[in-house]
Amino acid sequence: MSTPNPAIPLNVFTVEEYAAPTGRNGTSWTKIGVAFPHREGPGFNIELRAFPRNGRLVVLAPSDEERQPTELAG
């Protein structure tokens, strides 16, 4: 993954550990919002669609696939 462009919003995830019925442990990542760089200087505005139950947020740059413009069917 390349260095994020400051104009591109970042993805905000909540991450939760769980124990599956099989006894194996896993991690669930759920995208719950985006983070936009401030226009006035350093920092971010964060818009969430949900709140994490455990208080943990992870902010990551979008994947290369998410950065590709989508072609409109026509």
Whether the CB-CB separation of 65 and 53 falls below 8 Å is answered with no
- List pLDDT tens digits, range 10-61: 999 999 999 988 889 999 999 999 999 888 888 999 999 999 988 999 999 9
pLDDT band at 1; cut points 50, 70, 90: very low
Q: How far apart are CA 74 and CA 69, in angstroms?
A: 15
What pLDDT, on the 0 to 100 scale, is given for residue 72?
A: 61
Looking at residue 5, what is its pLDDT? Answer: 56
Instruction: Tell me the pLDDT band of 70, cut-offs 50, 70 and 90.
Output: low
